[in-house]
Amino acid sequence: MSTVLADEDNVVRYVRLRLFDVEKGEVDGTAFVLDAAKGEQALSVNWLEYFGGAVEYQVTQVRAHIHQKMNATGVLAQLNVGASKSAAAAEPGGSDITFVGDGQPAKPPRYPNPDPSHALVRGLPPGGSSAAAAIGDRIRNSIVALHPTS
Amino acid sequence: MRRSAATAERHYPPAWTAADWNPASLEDVLAPAHGAITLAGTTEPPYGFLVGPVDHYPHANEGLIALIDAPSAEAFGPLDREPRMFASQNFIRCPLAKRNSATAPFRFGLHEGTLGFTASTSAPTDPSYVEQWKLAFRLAELQADAEDEGIAISEGSQRDLLRFLGTHLDWRRPSLFLLDSGNFRALWRDGREQIALEFLGNQIIQYVMFRECIGAPDDLASAHGQDSLQGIERLLSYFGVERLTKR
């Protein structure tokens, strides 16, 4: 069953080294752009408040359950739902995006545990255009915090 | 390119010595990999490949980074006619574990040129030189990550990126990213304001620029689209974000 996330909630998205300049501490906005070549329809994120507790605990739980191979050189970028929605809508011709929790069941053998906090960002434009990049950059501007992947 | 004569406090990695970089051994390694490269060993600066002082690059200790100087004129367009430091430099990443193998694969940004170099284990201290090396390490890091992920780097994008940065050596060093498409993207950002340039190859740039609205700083003005390498600078000035590139 899917759950629409509230504006005050937060999500994290795994950003790999290619899109995270460690020395500058910068995340590229294309981390929040759909992959046109793969025909991606929504962006995968993880809902922090699903786990309750403090942010540090929530991030620890995401690391433990996420169905994604994360490298230590990457980073988990935290977004506030409401701020990201406002950012995407603020771009002229921008998008009305929604955040929907859709926890994933276990997928053995690679992922023996469920990923209950998995969520999707829906409503983003297809990637590959400067308009999509501009919306991604706007969302990047709303990053709340960066968390290590391990 | 200026180089510091200062001795490094720390060598990187410690096991490397100048003897590792003697011209004969380097030629042995590189010549089978690419016949178009002519090695012109010199001990004179400013040519160089040098082990940098940067801590943040996990892949840096997997290989060396070399800068090719004086590429052949045929390989370059009008932007490169004038002597420019960075535009005439391209990066080679030579996996350390394979560098003694005659059949080892090497990555070349461009395939023509003369490699002039000097061996050094001294870390640079001149700020602008350090900035160039940080950029070189970031590029090497992106190349390594692309290999790990099986992403083919766009040589056209890399060529345009280096040309562009080479014509703007006085600019602040941008953040660099490598996209799924194999294109490079450079970002100059100050708070919410930014210049982001994706190098599409064929001297075309996709840009996204933000600046605070004059008289309404809570709002962001934005502009995005495509322009040529030559035209983008005028656009930055017109949109009023040129200052983001200043050191």
CA-CA distance, B104 to B95, in Å (whole number)? 8
Return the minimum-mean-pLDDT range out of A131-140, B30-39, B137-146: B30-39
Checking if the pLDDT of B41 tops 60, the result is no
pLDDT in tens, B193-219: 999 999 999 999 999 999 999 888 888
- Using left for φ > 0, alpha for ψ between -120 and 50, and beta otherwise, residue A46 falls in beta
Task: Name every chain B residue with its beta carbon within 8 A of the beta carbon of A125.
Answer: none
Burial of B168 (0-12, 13-18, 19+ CB in 10 A): middle
Say what the pLDDT of residue B55 is: 33
pLDDT digits (tens, 9 = 90+) for B147-164: 788 899 898 898 888 778
Helix (H) or strand (E) holding A75: strand A75-80
DSSP-derived letter for residue A53 is S
Query: Is A6 part of the contact surface with chain B (CB cutoff 8 Å)?
Result: no
Instruction: Give A83-123 pLDDT, tens digit per residue.
Output: 999 999 999 888 899 999 999 999 999 999 999 999 999 99
In this structure, are strands A98-101 and B113-117 parallel, antiparallel, or unpaired? unpaired
- If one counts every other C-beta atom within 10 angstroms of the C-beta of residue A144, the result is 14
- Which one is predicted more confidently, B33 or B136? B136
Question: pTM (2 decimals)?
Answer: 0.74
Contact B146 A30 (CB under 8 A): no
Size of interface A-B (CB pairs under 8 A): 76
The boundaries of the domain holding residue A79 are 3-148
Mean pLDDT over residues A42-65, rounded? 97
Cα–Cα distance measured from residue B191 to residue B168, given in angstroms and rounded to the nearest whole number: 22
DSSP letters along A117-145, please?
TEEEEE-PPPSSSHHHHHHHHHHHTTEEE
Quote the pLDDT of residue B137: 65
Give yes or no for residue A11 having a pLDDT over 80. yes
With beta carbons under 8 A apart, name residues in chain A contacting B178: 18-19
Amino acid (1-letter code) at residue B110: L
Average pLDDT over residues B176-183: 95
pLDDT of B140 over the 90 cut: no
- Running DSSP on this structure, what letter comes out for residue A5? P
Q: How many domains does chain A have?
A: 1
Contacts of B123 (CB under 8 A, 6+ apart): B4, B6, B8, B9, B10, B11, B12, B50, B51, B52, B53
pLDDT of residue B161: 86
Distance CA B1, CA A69 (A): 41
Query: What is the model's pLDDT at position A3?
Result: 94
The alpha-carbon gap from A81 to the nearest alpha carbon of chain B, in Å, equals 18
| CB-based contact B210 A18, cutoff 8 Å | no
pLDDT at B139 over 50: yes
Instruction: Supply the ipTM of this predicted assembly.
Output: 0.95
Residue B44, classed as helix, strand or coil, is coil
Strands of chain B, DSSP E: 37-41, 63-67, 91-95, 107-108, 113-117, 175-178, 184-190, 193-201, 204-213, 216-228
Cis status of the peptide bond prior to A112, with omega within 30 of 0: no
| Residue A73 contacts residue A150 (beta carbons within 8 Å) | no
Residues of A in contact with B61 (CB under 8 A): none
